[in-house]
Amino acid sequence: MSVADYEHYAKRCLDVNAWAYLDGGAADELTLAANRQAYSQLQLEGRVLVDVTGGHTRMELFGQKLAHPMLLAPVAHQGLFHPDGELATVQAAAALETCMVVSTLASHRIEDIAAAALRPLWFQLYMQPDRNHSLALVRRAEAAGYQALVLTVDAPIAGLRNREQRAGFALPEGLRAVNLDGVPTPALALQPGQSAVFDHWMRLAPNWRDVEALRAQTSLPLLIKGITNAHDAGIALELGVDGLVVSNHGGRTLDTMAPSLLCLPAIVQAVQGRVPVLMDGGIRRGSDVFKALALGADAVLLGRSWVYALAAAGALGVSHVLRLLRDELELTMALTGCATLADIGPDRLRR
């Protein structure tokens, strides 16, 4: 009946290894919990006797027509959760008329996912230590017909995922990030007194110069994913990005960060409508989607909510969760007097 039900079935379907990867967060998982709890801090303002006949959830984003404002967020290693992995997810995206964002760390080649797609795809890029490898991934995505590029910037180093560490997480035999075949892992070579964090991993991490270079290297719409600070949003706009995704990486990177929903208004205020602002984090109900839109998001990215369903029921499960959330969004809109997404605003919320 709901995402919560699929969460229950997913846990029964997965081993401890896969469940720790899917359901866990960083450190004490406070941000993971806060992402979900943030929605309960906002109440809905009901409106009655409003004629919403002919209402709908349709929208357009970067020239692409979507049936609703819920996109499928990039999720790595989907083969952990179902044998078909991304090939199941892309079927669901087509069935529910939305866009799937394909991860650099997909279990299938980005070309094979594109060949199975009946709807526009976006490609999520993790910048590689050798920037030539990053550019090669971009060129592959362009050649395969991907219609936007999403650069993730909030995980330059792995978070302290204690739940995964306790489970001894490792990818099962036969499962790997196939799109990085041939990309070497940089050797850890430190001098006495040097830090693995500062002198190795962060030395290899992307910076604003890389964003500027990437903007010049592709004509695809470029979105930056992982923005939680208004100042960073301003720098991104100065460099010519086409969209922002407010995200704390699902609470998987730095614990005790503010929930994405509470970071959203400041970003929207800084952007002033110049580019689309999307967000992700903690969405489990259509009313959660409504609250994000009321705070200024143009659309949302869904993560764990549909991955639970992928684990439990493959493509059919992902499709069903999308349908459930769309139905819940429509119900929320109707009972708050909103016939279209344009009617949703902060006046429909109470704090």
| Cα–Cα distance, 26 to 252 (Å, whole number) | 5
From residue 208, alpha-carbon distances to 6, 58, 127, 139 in Å are 39, 34, 12, 21
Exposure string (b/e) for 289-309, b if CB count within 10 Å is 16 or more?
bbbbbbbbbbbbbbbbbbbbb
| Cα–Cα distance, 257 to 32 (Å, whole number) | 9
Which positions ≥6 away from 101 have C-beta within 8 Å? 71, 72, 73, 74, 121, 122, 123, 124, 150, 301
Identity (one letter) of the amino acid at 32? Answer: L
The dihedral over CA atoms of 107, 109, 112, 118, expressed in degrees to the nearest 10, equals 70
Closest CA to 321 of 80, 25, 70: 70
Q: Which residues are catalytic?
A: 249
Q: Are 349 and 42 in contact (CB under 8 A)?
A: yes
